[in-house]
Homo-oligomer: A and B are copies of this chain.
């Protein structure tokens, strides 16, 4: 991956400093810069451990999985499939630490709903109930908390889920960053649906539901110390209705994944590894909005690694692909859906892109994250 350090002072800002007002153009102070993708083997937590890449996976594999045990945790899916009282449920959680709290196209409240709703939907479940935990920093304005709660409530209504239970904790000033959120969600997995990374199979067509990269660039455009203003809004959206439209034409979806932290590259690598298959990516077929491509070029970011919050990847048997693609394009959240590759027997566990020049390159899994605190 391209790491943020390679980019020069324009890209970084000072993620450790207090939020500067938008429009503040003070020169960034590199002394406070953090390291999103450091070398491995460290004894302390680094930003990259939260990036959803290889370091996050190491933390799960080496620390959490051995400590917690249990079969559900080890499935590596976005949500766990559990059975309670005869009902087959999807169960998932995410914490949200995005900076800034409000960004073009959304807020931490929207993310907290859509992130967890999408994790549930990626197993084909129908999201039903959310929990919501606030960790507030002493001194944050009540008006800010209210705006976030209202955004969260509105996003829940749009997604058709209910916030059923909650909790609030307050930490001293200087021990938080305004508002951190956690949501967990439960949803019902319909009979006959079995969607998980391990089901990817050679011959599957890989579809993306629309253009990628907007969320990460939209958040970054509001960070302090950045020299550009882009007219890009986050794609933050709940995908459960899109998934329902896809399931209406076939039960035979093999894999669904929302490419959040680590972007399309991380998601495809995780699927390739989980199913021991190869993924052949047609790099030029991946839709990237022009402004996102321009911003990424300026910042030295690769759009394949930038987080999305309202897109999904689908692995669909070839025989079903046309019908699924048509159903997606008939839905507002899938109007620009595109086939971007296929699942192959070659190079199991690896993602290989055909580049614009006719060559090939390996699309490595990210180590940490290009942009920390993007969700």
Contact = CB atoms under 8 A, between A and B. Distances in A.
Interface of A: 15-16, 34, 42-51, 56, 59-60, 63-64, 67-70, 72-73, 79-80, 82, 84-89, 91-97, 128-129, 131-143, 145-146, 149-150, 152-153, 156-157, 162-177, 180, 182, 184, 186-188, 372-373
A95 B47 contact: no
Most buried by B among A63, A149, A153, A175: A175
Contacts of A50: 136, 168-171
Interface of A is mostly: mixed
Contacts of A45: 136-142, 145, 170
A67 B182 contact: no
Number of copies: 2
Nearest to A172: B16
A72 to B, nearest CB: 4
A224 to B, nearest CB: 13
Nearest to A43: B142
A95 B172 contact: no
Given A70-B162, A86-B87, A95 B145 contact: no
A5 to B, nearest CB: 15
Given A82-B129, A89-B85, A93-B182, A46 B138 contact: yes
A91 B164 contact: yes
A88 B87 CA distance: 10
A45 B136 CA distance: 7
A143 B44 CA distance: 8
A43 to B, nearest CB: 6
Contact of A186 (B51, B70, B91, B150): B91
Contacts of A139: 44-45
A169 B68 contact: no
B149 A67 contact: yes
A129 B80 CA distance: 10
Contact of A373 (B68, B87, B132, B171): B171
B131 A92 contact: yes
Contacts of A80: 129, 164-165
A156 B168 CA distance: 23
A66 B150 CA distance: 8
A366 B171 CA distance: 18
A260 to B, nearest CB: 11
A68 B148 CA distance: 11
